[in-house]
């Protein structure tokens, strides 16, 4: 899967006692209702964030992962995470999201009634 948006926030890398490393970023999607999406980069993928700056437009290859956790009380909970594995910078084409626009080459619209000459009215009402 891919997400595209503007880099809103870059966080510092975190190293845990086990030696595991992760670094997170937030992108703001470019759609009618922009969403801030947190994406984590793990282990050797954290270096992908080194050359990014806040405000840049990017396309991020992601995986969605899920986990199940059972509390000591026996209650089961589910957690999701979004993990990035590739980043591609996208050329800035303005702040407006890209949307399809009607073709200007379409044939002209006629305001004439296409049924005006029909004397054959067989409608039941």
DSSP classification of residue 96: S
Which tens digits make up the pLDDT trace of 37-84? 999 999 999 999 999 999 999 999 999 999 999 999 999 999 999 999
Answering whether pTM is above 0.85, one says no
Q: Where are the domains of the chain?
A: 2-89
Tell me phi and psi for residue 44, to 5 degrees.
-75, -10
Question: Using CA atoms, how far apart are residues 44 and 53, in angstroms rounded to an integer?
Answer: 19
Question: Using CA atoms, how far apart are residues 37 and 58, in angstroms rounded to an integer?
Answer: 13
Question: To which CATH superfamily is domain 2-89 assigned?
Answer: Nucleic acid-binding proteins (2.40.50.140)
């Amino acid at each position: 899967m891919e997400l595209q948006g503007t880099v809103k926030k870059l966080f510092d890398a975190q190293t845990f006692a086990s030696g595991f490393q992760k670094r997170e970023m937030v992108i703001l999607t470019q759609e009618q209702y922009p969403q801030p999406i947190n994406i984590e980069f793990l282990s050797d993928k954290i270096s992908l964030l080194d050359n990014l700056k806040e405000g840049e437009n990017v396309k991020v290859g992601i995986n969605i992962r899920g986990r199940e956790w059972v509390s000591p009380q026996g209650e089961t909970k589910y957690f999701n995470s979004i993990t990035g594995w590739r980043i591609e910078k996208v050329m800035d084409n303005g702040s407006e999201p890209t949307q399809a626009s009607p073709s200007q080459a379409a044939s002209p619209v006629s305001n004439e009634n296409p049924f005006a000459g029909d004397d054959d009215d067989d409608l039941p009402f």
